[in-house]
Structure 1
Protein backbone atom coordinates (compact mmCIF):
# COMPACT_ATOMS: atom_id res chain seq x y z
CA UNK A 1 0.00 0.00 0.00
CA UNK A 2 1.42 3.36 -1.04
CA UNK A 3 0.44 6.96 -0.36
CA UNK A 4 -0.21 7.43 -4.08
CA UNK A 5 -2.67 4.51 -4.07
CA UNK A 6 -4.56 5.96 -1.12
CA UNK A 7 -4.62 9.38 -2.75
CA UNK A 8 -6.03 7.88 -5.95
CA UNK A 9 -8.64 5.90 -3.99
CA UNK A 10 -9.90 8.97 -2.12
CA UNK A 11 -10.12 11.00 -5.31
CA UNK A 12 -12.03 8.30 -7.19
CA UNK A 13 -14.39 7.88 -4.23
CA UNK A 14 -15.11 11.62 -4.28
CA UNK A 15 -15.65 11.79 -8.07
CA UNK A 16 -17.21 8.40 -8.80
CA UNK A 17 -15.54 8.40 -12.24
CA UNK A 18 -12.19 7.01 -13.31
CA UNK A 19 -11.90 9.15 -16.45
CA UNK A 20 -12.60 12.43 -14.67
CA UNK A 21 -10.26 11.53 -11.81
CA UNK A 22 -7.46 10.55 -14.19
CA UNK A 23 -7.72 13.96 -15.88
CA UNK A 24 -7.60 15.80 -12.55
CA UNK A 25 -4.60 13.76 -11.42
CA UNK A 26 -2.90 14.15 -14.81
CA UNK A 27 -2.32 10.42 -15.23
CA UNK A 28 -3.50 7.88 -17.79
CA UNK A 29 -6.76 6.11 -16.94
CA UNK A 30 -5.22 2.59 -17.31
CA UNK A 31 -2.57 3.57 -14.75
CA UNK A 32 -5.25 4.77 -12.35
CA UNK A 33 -7.30 1.62 -12.84
CA UNK A 34 -4.24 -0.53 -12.22
CA UNK A 35 -3.37 1.39 -9.03
CA UNK A 36 -6.87 0.90 -7.60
CA UNK A 37 -6.87 -2.78 -8.56
CA UNK A 38 -3.48 -3.33 -6.91
CA UNK A 39 -4.69 -1.60 -3.73
CA UNK A 40 -7.74 -3.88 -3.62
CA UNK A 41 -5.50 -6.93 -4.03
CA UNK A 42 -3.32 -5.81 -1.13
CA UNK A 43 -6.34 -5.07 1.07
CA UNK A 44 -8.08 -8.33 0.21
CA UNK A 45 -11.45 -6.75 -0.56
CA UNK A 46 -13.12 -4.67 -3.27
CA UNK A 47 -13.43 -0.92 -2.84
CA UNK A 48 -15.81 -0.11 -5.69
CA UNK A 49 -18.68 -1.59 -7.62
CA UNK A 50 -19.65 -0.27 -11.03
CA UNK A 51 -23.19 0.68 -11.99
CA UNK A 52 -23.21 1.91 -15.56
CA UNK A 53 -20.41 4.46 -15.87
CA UNK A 54 -20.47 5.43 -12.20
CA UNK A 55 -18.39 3.84 -9.45
CA UNK A 56 -19.92 3.32 -6.00
CA UNK A 57 -18.14 2.40 -2.83
CA UNK A 58 -18.69 -1.09 -1.52
CA UNK A 59 -19.56 -1.63 2.14
CA UNK A 60 -15.86 -2.34 2.77
CA UNK A 61 -14.86 0.72 0.73
CA UNK A 62 -17.13 2.98 2.81
CA UNK A 63 -15.59 1.61 5.98
CA UNK A 64 -12.03 2.02 4.73
CA UNK A 65 -12.50 5.54 3.23
CA UNK A 66 -12.27 7.62 6.48
CA UNK A 67 -8.90 6.06 7.31
CA UNK A 68 -7.60 6.72 3.81
CA UNK A 69 -8.79 10.35 4.01
CA UNK A 70 -6.96 10.80 7.33
CA UNK A 71 -3.71 9.56 5.77
CA UNK A 72 -4.11 11.73 2.65
CA UNK A 73 -4.93 14.85 4.71
CA UNK A 74 -1.94 14.19 6.96
CA UNK A 75 0.23 13.91 3.87
CA UNK A 76 -1.12 17.24 2.61
CA UNK A 77 -0.35 18.90 5.95
CA UNK A 78 3.13 17.38 5.92
CA UNK A 79 3.73 18.74 2.41
CA UNK A 80 2.54 22.20 3.50
CA UNK A 81 4.80 22.10 6.54
CA UNK A 82 7.71 20.91 4.40
CA UNK A 83 7.18 23.88 2.11
CA UNK A 84 6.97 26.25 5.07
CA UNK A 85 10.12 24.86 6.66
CA UNK A 86 11.97 24.96 3.34
CA UNK A 87 11.06 28.62 2.80
CA UNK A 88 11.85 29.50 6.41
CA UNK A 89 15.31 27.97 6.41
CA UNK A 90 16.40 28.74 2.85
CA UNK A 91 15.02 32.03 1.52
CA UNK A 92 13.43 33.46 4.65
CA UNK A 93 14.97 35.93 7.08
CA UNK A 94 13.06 36.67 10.28
CA UNK A 95 14.04 39.37 12.77
CA UNK A 96 12.62 41.88 15.22
CA UNK A 97 13.92 45.29 16.23
CA UNK A 98 13.35 47.64 19.12
CA UNK A 99 13.17 51.40 19.48
CA UNK A 100 14.78 53.84 19.56
CA UNK A 101 16.40 53.29 16.18
CA UNK A 102 16.43 55.64 13.25
CA UNK A 103 13.20 55.09 11.27
CA UNK A 104 15.27 54.77 8.09
CA UNK A 105 17.76 52.26 9.45
CA UNK A 106 15.82 49.02 8.86
CA UNK A 107 14.44 50.03 5.40
CA UNK A 108 17.90 51.15 4.22
CA UNK A 109 19.47 47.97 5.57
CA UNK A 110 16.96 45.77 3.74
CA UNK A 111 17.22 47.78 0.53
CA UNK A 112 21.00 47.46 0.49
CA UNK A 113 20.83 43.71 1.10
CA UNK A 114 18.33 43.20 -1.71
CA UNK A 115 20.56 45.17 -4.09
CA UNK A 116 23.50 42.89 -3.28
CA UNK A 117 21.31 39.81 -3.81
CA UNK A 118 18.91 41.00 -6.51
CA UNK A 119 18.88 37.70 -8.40
CA UNK A 120 17.98 35.58 -5.38
CA UNK A 121 14.54 34.76 -4.03
CA UNK A 122 14.46 36.23 -0.53
CA UNK A 123 11.60 36.87 1.86
CA UNK A 124 12.17 39.10 4.89
CA UNK A 125 9.77 39.22 7.84
CA UNK A 126 10.31 41.84 10.54
CA UNK A 127 8.46 43.65 13.31
CA UNK A 128 9.18 46.05 16.17
CA UNK A 129 8.96 44.91 19.80
CA UNK A 130 10.38 45.47 23.24
CA UNK A 131 13.74 43.88 24.07
CA UNK A 132 12.14 41.38 26.45
CA UNK A 133 9.77 40.23 23.70
CA UNK A 134 12.62 39.91 21.21
CA UNK A 135 14.69 37.77 23.56
CA UNK A 136 11.68 35.55 24.26
CA UNK A 137 10.95 35.17 20.53
CA UNK A 138 14.59 34.29 19.90
CA UNK A 139 14.47 31.55 22.54
CA UNK A 140 11.22 30.20 21.07
CA UNK A 141 12.72 30.16 17.56
CA UNK A 142 10.18 32.63 16.17
CA UNK A 143 12.94 34.80 14.71
CA UNK A 144 16.51 34.30 13.50
CA UNK A 145 17.92 37.33 15.29
CA UNK A 146 16.95 40.67 16.78
CA UNK A 147 18.12 44.25 17.09
CA UNK A 148 18.01 44.92 20.85
CA UNK A 149 18.43 48.16 22.76
CA UNK A 150 19.21 46.54 26.08
CA UNK A 151 22.86 46.18 26.99
CA UNK A 152 22.06 44.16 30.12
CA UNK A 153 20.53 41.01 28.65
CA UNK A 154 21.81 38.38 31.06
CA UNK A 155 21.11 35.13 29.25
CA UNK A 156 23.65 32.42 28.53
CA UNK A 157 21.65 31.31 25.49
CA UNK A 158 21.92 34.69 23.75
CA UNK A 159 24.89 36.12 21.86
CA UNK A 160 25.10 39.93 21.63
CA UNK A 161 27.16 42.07 19.25
CA UNK A 162 27.15 45.84 19.67
CA UNK A 163 26.21 47.64 16.48
CA UNK A 164 25.83 51.32 17.28
CA UNK A 165 25.27 53.84 20.01
CA UNK A 166 23.23 57.02 20.33
CA UNK A 167 23.79 59.79 22.90
CA UNK A 168 20.90 60.42 25.29
CA UNK A 169 20.13 64.11 25.74
CA UNK A 170 17.82 66.24 27.83
CA UNK A 171 15.01 67.54 25.62
CA UNK A 172 12.57 70.26 26.69
CA UNK A 173 9.92 72.52 25.23
CA UNK A 174 11.63 75.74 24.19
CA UNK A 175 9.36 77.61 26.62
CA UNK A 176 10.30 75.37 29.56
CA UNK A 177 11.75 77.29 32.59
CA UNK A 178 14.78 74.95 32.48
CA UNK A 179 15.92 76.83 29.36
CA UNK A 180 16.57 79.91 31.50
CA UNK A 181 19.11 78.18 33.75
CA UNK A 182 22.59 79.22 32.64
CA UNK A 183 24.43 76.12 33.89
CA UNK A 184 22.02 73.23 34.12
CA UNK A 185 22.72 70.33 36.48
CA UNK A 186 20.91 67.07 37.10
CA UNK A 187 19.47 68.32 40.43
CA UNK A 188 17.59 71.00 38.47
CA UNK A 189 15.37 68.26 37.03
CA UNK A 190 13.72 68.08 40.43
CA UNK A 191 12.15 71.51 39.86
CA UNK A 192 9.98 70.49 36.90
CA UNK A 193 7.81 67.52 35.87
CA UNK A 194 9.37 64.88 33.65
CA UNK A 195 8.28 62.35 31.03
CA UNK A 196 9.72 58.85 30.75
CA UNK A 197 9.25 55.71 28.71
CA UNK A 198 6.92 52.82 29.46
CA UNK A 199 7.70 51.43 32.89
CA UNK A 200 10.01 48.42 32.72
CA UNK A 201 11.16 49.14 29.17
CA UNK A 202 14.89 49.09 28.41
CA UNK A 203 15.05 52.89 28.10
CA UNK A 204 13.16 53.38 31.36
CA UNK A 205 15.52 51.00 33.17
CA UNK A 206 18.56 52.85 31.81
CA UNK A 207 17.19 56.22 32.88
CA UNK A 208 16.11 55.00 36.33
CA UNK A 209 19.62 53.63 36.85
CA UNK A 210 21.03 57.05 35.99
CA UNK A 211 18.70 58.78 38.47
CA UNK A 212 19.71 56.33 41.19
CA UNK A 213 23.41 56.97 40.54
CA UNK A 214 22.75 60.71 40.75
CA UNK A 215 20.73 60.21 43.95
CA UNK A 216 17.64 62.01 42.69
CA UNK A 217 13.99 61.01 42.29
CA UNK A 218 12.42 63.29 39.68
CA UNK A 219 8.67 63.78 39.44
CA UNK A 220 7.74 61.65 36.41
CA UNK A 221 4.23 62.77 35.46
CA UNK A 222 3.78 60.78 32.27
CA UNK A 223 5.04 57.65 30.56
CA UNK A 224 4.76 56.83 26.88
CA UNK A 225 6.41 55.03 23.95
CA UNK A 226 9.58 56.15 22.19
CA UNK A 227 7.48 57.08 19.14
CA UNK A 228 5.34 59.51 21.18
CA UNK A 229 7.73 60.99 23.72
CA UNK A 230 8.81 63.95 21.57
CA UNK A 231 5.19 64.85 21.00
CA UNK A 232 4.52 64.83 24.76
CA UNK A 233 7.45 67.19 25.38
CA UNK A 234 6.35 69.42 22.50
CA UNK A 235 2.92 69.75 24.13
CA UNK A 236 4.60 71.12 27.27
CA UNK A 237 3.96 68.12 29.54
CA UNK A 238 7.54 68.09 30.84
CA UNK A 239 11.19 67.37 30.06
CA UNK A 240 12.49 63.98 28.84
CA UNK A 241 15.75 62.15 28.27
CA UNK A 242 15.67 61.08 24.60
CA UNK A 243 18.14 59.09 22.50
CA UNK A 244 19.41 61.13 19.57
CA UNK A 245 19.11 58.62 16.73
CA UNK A 246 19.53 61.00 13.84
CA UNK A 247 15.87 61.99 13.59
CA UNK A 248 15.40 65.79 13.66
CA UNK A 249 13.70 67.15 16.77
CA UNK A 250 10.11 68.30 16.43
CA UNK A 251 9.51 72.00 16.06
CA UNK A 252 9.42 73.77 19.41
CA UNK A 253 11.86 71.41 21.14
CA UNK A 254 15.30 72.23 22.47
CA UNK A 255 18.25 70.05 23.56
CA UNK A 256 19.91 71.23 26.78
CA UNK A 257 23.42 70.26 27.82
CA UNK A 258 23.94 68.84 31.28
CA UNK A 259 27.49 67.86 32.37
CA UNK A 260 26.35 64.85 34.44
CA UNK A 261 24.42 63.33 31.54
CA UNK A 262 26.77 60.99 29.67
CA UNK A 263 24.28 58.23 28.88
CA UNK A 264 24.55 56.29 25.64
CA UNK A 265 21.86 54.15 24.05
CA UNK A 266 23.38 51.00 22.56
CA UNK A 267 21.84 48.77 19.91
CA UNK A 268 22.93 45.13 19.74
CA UNK A 269 22.47 42.34 17.25
CA UNK A 270 21.25 39.28 19.15
CA UNK A 271 20.87 35.60 18.27
CA UNK A 272 20.68 32.26 20.01
CA UNK A 273 24.10 30.67 20.47
CA UNK A 274 22.81 27.23 19.53
CA UNK A 275 20.79 28.45 16.51
CA UNK A 276 22.06 27.36 13.10
CA UNK A 277 21.09 30.09 10.66
CA UNK A 278 20.12 29.34 7.07
CA UNK A 279 22.66 30.33 4.42
CA UNK A 280 20.70 33.43 3.45
CA UNK A 281 20.26 34.46 7.12
CA UNK A 282 24.00 33.99 7.66
CA UNK A 283 24.58 36.24 4.66
CA UNK A 284 22.25 38.88 6.09
CA UNK A 285 23.98 38.63 9.49
CA UNK A 286 27.34 39.30 7.82
CA UNK A 287 25.86 42.17 5.83
CA UNK A 288 24.50 43.78 9.01
CA UNK A 289 27.93 43.64 10.68
CA UNK A 290 29.70 45.22 7.68
CA UNK A 291 26.93 47.79 7.25
CA UNK A 292 27.28 48.92 10.85
CA UNK A 293 31.04 49.47 10.85
CA UNK A 294 30.35 53.13 10.16
CA UNK A 295 28.20 53.44 13.28
CA UNK A 296 30.79 52.20 15.79
Structure 2
Protein backbone atom coordinates (compact mmCIF):
# COMPACT_ATOMS: atom_id res chain seq x y z
CA UNK A 1 0.00 0.00 0.00
CA UNK A 2 1.02 3.62 -0.53
CA UNK A 3 0.78 5.94 2.46
CA UNK A 4 0.86 9.74 2.24
CA UNK A 5 2.18 11.49 5.36
CA UNK A 6 1.18 15.13 5.73
CA UNK A 7 3.70 16.55 8.15
CA UNK A 8 6.17 19.27 8.96
CA UNK A 9 9.26 19.50 6.73
CA UNK A 10 11.26 16.26 6.86
CA UNK A 11 14.41 18.30 7.32
CA UNK A 12 13.12 19.38 10.75
CA UNK A 13 12.65 15.82 12.05
CA UNK A 14 14.69 14.60 15.03
CA UNK A 15 14.50 10.99 13.93
CA UNK A 16 15.86 9.52 17.17
CA UNK A 17 12.58 10.46 18.85
CA UNK A 18 10.12 11.46 16.13
CA UNK A 19 6.89 9.45 16.16
CA UNK A 20 6.00 10.14 12.52
CA UNK A 21 9.43 8.82 11.52
CA UNK A 22 8.83 5.65 13.55
CA UNK A 23 5.51 5.17 11.73
CA UNK A 24 7.25 5.58 8.37
CA UNK A 25 10.00 3.13 9.32
CA UNK A 26 7.53 0.45 10.37
CA UNK A 27 5.35 1.01 7.31
CA UNK A 28 8.36 0.61 5.00
CA UNK A 29 9.50 -2.48 6.93
CA UNK A 30 6.10 -4.03 6.21
CA UNK A 31 6.45 -3.37 2.48
CA UNK A 32 4.38 -0.19 2.15
CA UNK A 33 5.60 2.75 0.07
CA UNK A 34 5.91 6.26 1.45
CA UNK A 35 4.96 9.67 0.12
CA UNK A 36 5.14 12.98 1.96
CA UNK A 37 3.92 16.55 1.71
CA UNK A 38 3.24 19.57 3.89
CA UNK A 39 -0.22 21.15 4.32
CA UNK A 40 0.90 24.06 2.13
CA UNK A 41 1.28 21.64 -0.78
CA UNK A 42 -2.43 20.71 -0.82
CA UNK A 43 -4.74 22.37 -3.36
CA UNK A 44 -8.12 22.02 -5.04
CA UNK A 45 -9.71 23.44 -8.18
CA UNK A 46 -13.32 23.26 -9.31
CA UNK A 47 -13.98 20.19 -11.38
CA UNK A 48 -10.97 18.35 -9.99
CA UNK A 49 -9.95 16.45 -6.91
CA UNK A 50 -7.93 17.56 -3.91
CA UNK A 51 -4.28 17.12 -4.87
CA UNK A 52 -0.87 17.67 -3.35
CA UNK A 53 2.66 18.17 -4.57
CA UNK A 54 4.22 15.08 -3.03
CA UNK A 55 7.62 13.45 -2.77
CA UNK A 56 7.93 9.68 -2.91
CA UNK A 57 10.62 8.72 -0.42
CA UNK A 58 12.63 5.75 0.78
CA UNK A 59 14.21 5.56 4.23
CA UNK A 60 17.90 4.79 4.11
CA UNK A 61 18.42 3.43 7.63
CA UNK A 62 21.13 6.02 8.31
CA UNK A 63 21.07 8.73 10.96
CA UNK A 64 22.33 11.29 8.46
CA UNK A 65 20.65 11.64 5.08
CA UNK A 66 17.93 9.40 6.47
CA UNK A 67 15.73 9.48 3.38
CA UNK A 68 16.02 9.74 -0.37
CA UNK A 69 13.39 11.34 -2.59
CA UNK A 70 12.72 9.00 -5.51
CA UNK A 71 10.36 11.26 -7.45
CA UNK A 72 8.10 14.28 -7.08
CA UNK A 73 4.79 15.24 -8.62
CA UNK A 74 1.14 16.18 -8.16
CA UNK A 75 -1.15 13.37 -7.04
CA UNK A 76 -4.78 13.15 -5.90
CA UNK A 77 -5.13 12.31 -2.22
CA UNK A 78 -7.86 9.83 -3.10
CA UNK A 79 -5.25 7.80 -5.00
CA UNK A 80 -3.41 6.80 -1.81
CA UNK A 81 -4.37 3.82 0.31
CA UNK A 82 -4.15 6.05 3.40
CA UNK A 83 -3.49 9.71 4.16
CA UNK A 84 -1.98 10.32 7.60
CA UNK A 85 -2.41 13.84 8.94
CA UNK A 86 0.65 14.29 11.17
CA UNK A 87 1.17 18.07 11.12
CA UNK A 88 2.19 19.28 14.56
CA UNK A 89 0.16 21.97 16.34
CA UNK A 90 -0.61 24.81 16.72
CA UNK A 91 -4.16 24.27 15.55
CA UNK A 92 -4.32 27.63 13.79
CA UNK A 93 -6.44 28.88 10.90
CA UNK A 94 -4.30 27.12 8.30
CA UNK A 95 -4.60 23.81 10.14
CA UNK A 96 -8.36 24.35 10.31
CA UNK A 97 -8.54 25.01 6.57
CA UNK A 98 -6.43 21.91 5.92
CA UNK A 99 -9.01 19.76 7.70
CA UNK A 100 -11.67 21.08 5.31
CA UNK A 101 -9.51 20.25 2.32
CA UNK A 102 -8.95 16.77 3.72
CA UNK A 103 -12.66 16.33 4.32
CA UNK A 104 -13.28 17.15 0.66
CA UNK A 105 -10.66 14.53 -0.21
CA UNK A 106 -12.63 12.05 1.90
CA UNK A 107 -15.75 12.80 -0.15
CA UNK A 108 -13.66 11.91 -3.20
CA UNK A 109 -12.68 8.56 -1.69
CA UNK A 110 -9.56 9.30 0.38
CA UNK A 111 -9.04 7.47 3.66
CA UNK A 112 -7.69 10.00 6.15
CA UNK A 113 -6.36 9.21 9.65
CA UNK A 114 -7.19 10.82 12.02
CA UNK A 115 -10.43 11.86 10.34
CA UNK A 116 -10.51 15.60 9.57
CA UNK A 117 -13.90 16.23 11.18
CA UNK A 118 -12.74 14.43 14.33
CA UNK A 119 -9.64 16.66 14.45
CA UNK A 120 -11.86 19.75 14.31
CA UNK A 121 -14.36 18.42 16.83
CA UNK A 122 -11.77 17.53 19.49
CA UNK A 123 -9.75 20.59 20.50
CA UNK A 124 -7.05 19.15 22.70
CA UNK A 125 -7.73 21.22 25.80
CA UNK A 126 -11.52 21.49 25.57
CA UNK A 127 -12.36 17.89 24.64
CA UNK A 128 -11.92 16.88 28.29
CA UNK A 129 -15.23 18.65 29.07
CA UNK A 130 -17.05 15.60 27.72
CA UNK A 131 -15.52 13.39 30.41
CA UNK A 132 -16.02 15.22 33.75
CA UNK A 133 -15.76 11.95 35.69
CA UNK A 134 -12.08 11.75 34.80
CA UNK A 135 -10.90 15.34 35.30
CA UNK A 136 -9.99 17.52 38.26
CA UNK A 137 -11.49 20.93 39.09
CA UNK A 138 -11.36 22.91 35.83
CA UNK A 139 -12.60 26.28 34.62
CA UNK A 140 -12.73 27.68 31.08
CA UNK A 141 -13.56 31.36 30.92
CA UNK A 142 -12.82 34.80 29.53
CA UNK A 143 -13.86 36.51 32.77
CA UNK A 144 -10.95 37.55 35.05
CA UNK A 145 -13.32 37.69 38.03
CA UNK A 146 -14.17 34.01 37.57
CA UNK A 147 -10.48 33.17 37.51
CA UNK A 148 -9.97 35.03 40.79
CA UNK A 149 -12.92 33.18 42.37
CA UNK A 150 -11.49 29.84 41.18
CA UNK A 151 -8.13 30.76 42.70
CA UNK A 152 -9.73 31.78 45.98
CA UNK A 153 -11.45 28.39 46.17
CA UNK A 154 -8.53 26.16 45.16
CA UNK A 155 -5.54 28.32 46.22
CA UNK A 156 -3.00 26.57 43.97
CA UNK A 157 -3.87 26.69 40.27
CA UNK A 158 -2.54 26.22 36.75
CA UNK A 159 -3.45 28.63 33.93
CA UNK A 160 -2.87 27.84 30.24
CA UNK A 161 -3.97 29.08 26.82
CA UNK A 162 -6.35 26.90 24.82
CA UNK A 163 -4.07 26.87 21.79
CA UNK A 164 -0.77 26.10 23.49
CA UNK A 165 1.49 23.11 22.82
CA UNK A 166 4.56 21.56 24.42
CA UNK A 167 3.88 23.28 27.75
CA UNK A 168 3.99 26.74 26.16
CA UNK A 169 2.25 29.49 28.14
CA UNK A 170 1.56 27.42 31.29
CA UNK A 171 1.67 29.28 34.61
CA UNK A 172 1.27 28.20 38.23
CA UNK A 173 -0.16 30.55 40.85
CA UNK A 174 0.08 29.49 44.49
CA UNK A 175 -2.01 30.59 47.47
CA UNK A 176 -0.32 34.00 47.72
CA UNK A 177 -1.75 34.94 44.31
CA UNK A 178 1.60 36.38 43.26
CA UNK A 179 1.48 37.72 39.68
CA UNK A 180 -2.06 36.43 39.05
CA UNK A 181 -3.10 39.80 37.63
CA UNK A 182 -0.12 39.95 35.29
CA UNK A 183 -0.62 36.36 34.16
CA UNK A 184 -4.28 37.02 33.42
CA UNK A 185 -3.33 40.07 31.38
CA UNK A 186 -0.89 37.94 29.39
CA UNK A 187 -3.22 34.99 28.75
CA UNK A 188 -6.66 36.54 28.99
CA UNK A 189 -5.93 39.87 27.27
CA UNK A 190 -8.51 41.77 29.28
CA UNK A 191 -11.28 39.30 28.54
CA UNK A 192 -10.53 38.91 24.84
CA UNK A 193 -9.17 35.37 25.02
CA UNK A 194 -10.42 32.27 26.81
CA UNK A 195 -8.19 30.58 29.37
CA UNK A 196 -8.22 27.13 30.95
CA UNK A 197 -7.67 27.11 34.70
CA UNK A 198 -7.15 23.89 36.64
CA UNK A 199 -6.47 23.01 40.24
CA UNK A 200 -2.78 22.22 40.65
CA UNK A 201 -2.25 18.47 40.98
CA UNK A 202 0.78 17.70 43.18
CA UNK A 203 1.02 14.29 41.52
CA UNK A 204 2.79 16.09 38.65
CA UNK A 205 5.96 15.38 40.65
CA UNK A 206 5.49 11.73 39.59
CA UNK A 207 5.01 12.74 35.97
CA UNK A 208 2.50 13.92 33.39
CA UNK A 209 1.61 10.56 31.84
CA UNK A 210 1.04 10.23 28.10
CA UNK A 211 -1.36 7.31 27.66
CA UNK A 212 -1.62 6.22 24.03
CA UNK A 213 -4.82 4.80 22.56
CA UNK A 214 -4.55 3.01 19.21
CA UNK A 215 -7.67 1.71 17.48
CA UNK A 216 -9.64 2.25 20.67
CA UNK A 217 -7.25 0.14 22.77
CA UNK A 218 -4.68 1.38 25.29
CA UNK A 219 -0.99 0.77 24.72
CA UNK A 220 0.09 -1.15 27.89
CA UNK A 221 2.83 1.36 28.75
CA UNK A 222 2.68 5.14 29.16
CA UNK A 223 5.43 7.74 29.19
CA UNK A 224 5.58 9.70 32.44
CA UNK A 225 7.08 13.10 31.67
CA UNK A 226 8.65 14.26 34.91
CA UNK A 227 9.38 17.96 35.55
CA UNK A 228 13.05 18.81 36.10
CA UNK A 229 14.91 21.55 37.94
CA UNK A 230 12.01 23.23 39.71
CA UNK A 231 9.84 23.32 36.57
CA UNK A 232 6.09 22.78 36.94
CA UNK A 233 5.83 21.44 33.38
CA UNK A 234 6.60 17.86 32.52
CA UNK A 235 6.45 18.31 28.74
CA UNK A 236 9.49 16.91 26.96
CA UNK A 237 9.68 20.14 24.96
CA UNK A 238 9.99 22.01 28.28
CA UNK A 239 12.83 19.81 29.54
CA UNK A 240 10.81 17.06 31.20
CA UNK A 241 12.36 13.59 31.64
CA UNK A 242 10.44 10.76 29.95
CA UNK A 243 10.14 7.52 31.93
CA UNK A 244 8.10 4.64 30.51
CA UNK A 245 5.85 2.78 32.96
CA UNK A 246 3.12 0.15 32.84
CA UNK A 247 -0.40 1.58 32.93
CA UNK A 248 -2.01 1.73 36.36
CA UNK A 249 -5.50 0.38 36.89
CA UNK A 250 -6.83 3.95 36.74
CA UNK A 251 -4.90 4.69 33.54
CA UNK A 252 -6.39 1.58 31.95
CA UNK A 253 -9.91 2.51 33.10
CA UNK A 254 -9.55 5.97 31.57
CA UNK A 255 -8.06 4.70 28.30
CA UNK A 256 -10.66 1.98 27.79
CA UNK A 257 -13.54 4.35 28.50
CA UNK A 258 -12.25 7.09 26.23
CA UNK A 259 -10.92 4.70 23.61
CA UNK A 260 -14.28 3.30 22.60
CA UNK A 261 -15.70 6.81 22.14
CA UNK A 262 -12.71 8.22 20.26
CA UNK A 263 -12.44 5.25 17.88
CA UNK A 264 -16.12 5.53 16.96
CA UNK A 265 -15.47 9.11 15.84
CA UNK A 266 -12.58 8.30 13.53
CA UNK A 267 -9.67 8.89 15.89
CA UNK A 268 -7.36 5.97 15.21
CA UNK A 269 -4.70 7.46 17.49
CA UNK A 270 -5.04 9.62 20.58
CA UNK A 271 -2.71 10.60 23.41
CA UNK A 272 -4.40 11.16 26.75
CA UNK A 273 -2.48 13.19 29.32
CA UNK A 274 -3.04 12.02 32.90
CA UNK A 275 -1.68 13.54 36.11
CA UNK A 276 -2.34 11.30 39.09
CA UNK A 277 -5.85 10.01 38.44
CA UNK A 278 -7.02 12.99 36.37
CA UNK A 279 -7.15 13.61 32.61
CA UNK A 280 -5.78 17.03 31.69
CA UNK A 281 -5.78 16.91 27.85
CA UNK A 282 -6.70 14.64 24.95
CA UNK A 283 -4.20 14.99 22.10
CA UNK A 284 -5.40 14.00 18.63
CA UNK A 285 -3.43 16.09 16.12
CA UNK A 286 -0.04 14.35 16.21
CA UNK A 287 0.39 12.34 19.44
CA UNK A 288 3.97 11.35 20.19
CA UNK A 289 6.08 9.15 22.52
CA UNK A 290 6.16 6.01 20.33
CA UNK A 291 9.93 5.75 20.28
CA UNK A 292 10.50 6.55 23.94
CA UNK A 293 8.12 3.80 25.05
CA UNK A 294 9.55 1.32 22.53
CA UNK A 295 13.17 2.07 23.46
CA UNK A 296 12.57 1.73 27.21
CA UNK A 297 10.15 -1.22 27.36
CA UNK A 298 10.40 -3.11 24.07
CA UNK A 299 6.68 -2.54 23.47
CA UNK A 300 6.58 -2.04 19.70
CA UNK A 301 4.19 0.90 19.51
CA UNK A 302 4.89 1.65 15.81
CA UNK A 303 3.95 -1.92 14.93
CA UNK A 304 0.73 -1.67 16.95
CA UNK A 305 -0.14 1.52 15.09
CA UNK A 306 0.57 0.30 11.56
CA UNK A 307 -1.31 -2.94 12.24
CA UNK A 308 -4.31 -0.89 13.42
CA UNK A 309 -3.98 1.33 10.35
CA UNK A 310 -3.95 -1.68 8.01
CA UNK A 311 -7.06 -3.02 9.73
CA UNK A 312 -8.82 0.35 9.52
CA UNK A 313 -8.03 0.62 5.80
CA UNK A 314 -9.46 -2.85 5.19
CA UNK A 315 -12.65 -1.96 7.04
CA UNK A 316 -13.14 1.49 5.46
Does the alignment reach a TM-score above 0.5? no
TM-score, normalising length: structure 2: 0.26
Based on CA coordinates, which of the two structures has the bigger radius of gyration?
A: 1
Specify which structure has the higher proportion of helix: 1
TM-score, normalising length: structure 1: 0.27
Higher relative contact order, structure no. (Cα contacts within 8 Å, ≥ 6 residues apart): 1
Specify which structure has the higher proportion of strand: 2
